[in-house]
Amino acid sequence: MQSKKIWVQIIGRANYVDDKIYADYSQLIENLFTYYLAPVYVKKLTKLLIDFKEEHDWHIFPKTTGESIYTIATSFSFERFFASSPSDKQELLLKAVRDGLLKLYEYLGLNCDDVNYAYKEIIANEYRLTIPFLKGGKFNKQRTIKASVVAEHLLEYAMIYLIFTNKLGNEVNKIPLFKTMAHQFIYKQLVAFGKWTDVDVFSVYNNTKEFWINVTPHGECSIQYRPYQRDIEGIREEINFLTKKVFVEW
């Protein structure tokens, strides 16, 4: 049985949980735990939900073992959250999610040290999250330039960059491609594949390979299209839907 990452998701129960501030902080903290938690060896488990409510009580469901999704309903002070400073908002949510995950891990017989390690790593990295794609990057045939695609998570969005480094690992150029919602489901549709298509051209493809961006280490960019059962305008509509901003001329 192979290890796998577990998706952590925060939900909440209060009259104002749809507030954008709460949603933005929740998404940041759930992405941080999802990324920093070590993979687990559990056959069916895929997601852990932290369900915040104002009542001072907690319980876990379902009660049976071997399910794919487990939820812990636990108390959280929304009033204190909205009255706190930005840094305190992060800290409050981080601690509350850690406490909920510890109870879930204990209930499921998982290693609670993984939760505490992830918690400490998030703090040590100052709530920063950079997710690499393409298995860390790819060198050109001459092995002189390496191309890497990363998603840098910020509070309200993620920035997708193509980064060129030389063979010593020094950064040559960092080129912004997209600004999107801070969720892997969104930006993985835009930057699913990548390869060197010429000596000094790296191409980043979307998930259907209907469009790709050709980029040189000098920062020259161009978009190419290969529509399937739609026209180019349909592809552009999809890009607009998935992004907050496109940094490439298209």
CB 133 within 8 A of CB 202: no
- Does position 201 have pLDDT exceeding 90, yes or no? yes
As a residue count, the chain comes to: 250
Please give the pLDDT value at position 1. Answer: 62
Give the tens place of pLDDT for each residue, 143-194. Answer: 999 999 999 999 989 999 999 999 999 999 999 999 999 988 899 999 999 9
- 56-75 average pLDDT score: 92
pTM of the predicted model as reported, rounded to 2 decimal places: 0.86
Q: Looking only at Cα atoms, what is the longest distance across the chain? A: 62
- Average model confidence (pLDDT) across the chain: 93
Distance CA 1, CA 238 (A): 37
Give the tens place of pLDDT for each residue, 215-233. Answer: 999 999 999 999 999 999 9
Give the tens place of pLDDT for each residue, 114-153. Answer: 999 999 999 999 999 999 988 889 999 999 999 999 999 9
Give me the residue spans of the domains in the chain.
Answer: 7-124, 129-246
- 59-81 average pLDDT score: 93
